[in-house]
A and B are shown apart, each in its own frame.
Chain A
Amino acid sequence: MRFIKSHLSLIFPMVAILMGLEFFIAFDRTTKGYEESLKDSYAMLVVAKDEMSIDDFKSWDKHIYKVAEIEKSKIIDKVDLPFKSSDTSNIDKDMPNFYSIKLDKYLNNKELEQVKRNILKSDRVTRVETFDTLHNSNYGLFSSIKLAFQTFILFMTIIGFFLIIKQMEVWNFMHSERMKVMDIFGASLFLRSKALIVMAIVDAIISAIIASIVFYTIQNSWIKGNHIAILEDNIDGLFSIDDLLTLSFASIVIVLIAVFLVVINVKEE
């Protein structure tokens, strides 16, 4: 019973940390998709005196990756003109050129302003419209959700670490006598901590498997059964089999640090 309790005392906080880590990975993967869609639906408008090529734009700012010229006729068609169509050819000639610009990634407000400033450095450009109000509200909402989620994960991780530290104190109490005796008889540091290392690695792998099973179940049973569109769209980003390796690696690193701290705290009698 004591043996099982001792293992569970490590496995529980470790699973909490690993679930936090997996949430972080999954959230990062799914939000990347969302960022991508925000980026695709966003465009800046540039008004220029002369005709310009994509290379001109790219030379002004590295974030510009796609430029589409907006046909003047389409703009004129959308404007309700009170004169005859024959006059539109003169308007067409006098009109500046309009360009819709796509960026390579979803930028924050400050970065957007920098792109605008870089474009306006050219005297051929007369105006740049960033539509930053819409952009900011989307980005603000997105950023605040992300921040709230990351804070929650950080909080979970801190609690997990505290529990692991508590368990390390128990380990220290349980194993220090044996390690002291072994030290007196000339055992190396590795030999003294071998039992602890094996136990810790087994617990770490069990924790990684439990965390993976939880995410696999959420991915394959809970989300599929609930028919929530936004979750179903990002279902592949929630958990992949590679994550099991990532979680195992992370948990082994954490427990080895814990074991090391226990071992160096065992003082000779």
Chain B
Amino acid sequence: MSNIIVAQNLTLSYERDEEIIRNASFVIEKGDFVFITGPSGSGKSTLLKSFYGNIKPQSGTLLMGGLNMSNIKKPKLQELRKHLGIIFQDYKLINEWNVERNVVLPLWIAGYSNEVQQTQAKRLLHHVKLTGKGHKYPLELSGGEQQRVGVARALSKNPFLILADEPTGNLDEYSSNVIWDLLENACQQLETTVVVVTHKIPSVFNIPYRHFTIDELGDIYEVH
């Protein structure tokens, strides 16, 4: 098993005097499905942001795929982000682009040909059950459909790690179950590591998972 995320005495803060995550140490390995839970404002999303370099560690070490996030330079960070799939609670789709273009955004950034992009878009839209909706615009879709576009975008370049921030936070039960199924499949079939920040672990979950929780002081524990 190879290490995907290694944190040692990791401390995160937006301002020097207010630590959000304190001295966190954990290892996430390839193929792990990890839930991170905790009360509101405990720093779950901040921890996830540190995984894609949106916030730098204040102290300690954070290695992402072997890259030290404390002193990572912008070109290396861009390269790392190209190999991540990120899903947001508010979807973060580009509203002036159609669904198909949104789905293949990571492929476009990586410079894949239009042909490859089109083939992948069709395959992914079929996978997330949005066949025939490629030419629609995000605001023409329901919340659940928009999030499925977000998942398709996250999967489009076969990332080694999927980071999801409250992916079902705005969705009804049916749409939530569709999203969990897609993430389970990605982990099980493609051996993609998945880290999900959520306030509640789904009651029915079909694959083994690990569970980290953050308390109000910013300390992280693994729940066994």
A184 with B94: CB separation less than 8 A: no
5 residue pairs from A and B, CB less than 8 Å apart = A178-B94, A181-B93, A186-B81, A186-B109, A188-B78
Which residues in chain B, 105-159, are within 8 Å of chain A measured between CB atoms? 105-106, 109
Does B80 count as interface, using CB distance less than 8 angstroms? yes
Q: Are B52 and A181 in contact (CB under 8 A)?
A: no
Which chain A residues in 173-229 approach chain B with CB under 8 Å?
177-178, 180-182, 184-188, 191
Among B54, B95, B97, B106, which residue has its beta carbon within 8 angstroms of that of A185?
B106
Q: Are B78 and A181 closer than 8 Å at their CB atoms?
A: no
Check A182–B105 contact: CB distance below 8 A. yes
Interface size grouping (class) on chain B: 10 to 19
Q: Which of A184, A186, A188, A268 has the most CB of B within 10 A?
A: A186
A185 touches B94 (CB 8 A): no
- Minimum C-beta distance from B72 to chain A (A): 12
Decide: A177 and B94 in contact? CB cutoff 8 A. Answer: yes
| B86 on interface, CB distance cutoff 8 Å | yes
CB of A269 closer than 8 Å to a CB of B: yes
- Given A181-B92, A185-B86, A185-B109; A268-B79 close (CB under 8 Å): no
Pairs of residues from A and B, 10 with the lowest C-beta to C-beta distance, nearest first: A186-B81, A186-B82, A186-B78, A187-B109, A178-B94, A181-B92, A185-B106, A185-B109, A181-B94, A185-B105
From residue B214, how far is it (CB to closest CB) to chain A in Å?
A: 21
Whether A191 touches B86, Cβ cut-off 8 Å, given contacts A184-B81, A186-B80, is: no
A181 touches B81 (CB 8 A): no
For chain B, residues 37 to 66, give those with C-beta under 8 angstroms from any C-beta of chain A.
Answer: 52, 54
Q: How far is the CA of A186 from the CA of B93 in the complex (A)?
A: 15
Q: Is B96 interfacial (CB-CB < 8 Å)?
A: yes
A to B contact number (C-beta, < 8 Å)? 38
Q: Check B79–A186 contact: CB distance below 8 A.
A: yes
Interface residues on A, range: 10 to 19
User: Taking beta carbons and an 8 Å cutoff, which residues of B are in contact with A?
Assistant: 52, 54, 77-82, 84, 86, 92-97, 105-106, 109
Interface string of A158-179 (1 = CB under 8 A from B): 0000000000000000000110
Contact A184 B78 (CB under 8 A): no
Given contacts A177-B94, A188-B78, contact A182 B109 (CB under 8 A): yes
B78 cross-chain contacts in A, Cβ below 8 A: 186-188
A182 to B105, CA, bound (A): 8
Docked complex Cα distance between A196 and B93 (Å): 18
Q: Shortest beta-carbon distance, A178 to chain B, in Å?
A: 5
A188 CA / B54 CA spacing, docked (Å) = 15
Chain B residue, CB-CB nearest to A187:
B109
Q: CA separation between A191 and B107, bound complex, in Å?
A: 13
Instruction: Check B105–A268 contact: CB distance below 8 A.
Output: no
Compute how far the CA of A268 lies from the CA of B54 in the bound complex, rounded to whole angstroms.
7
Do B92 and A184 touch across chains, with their CB atoms under 8 A apart? yes
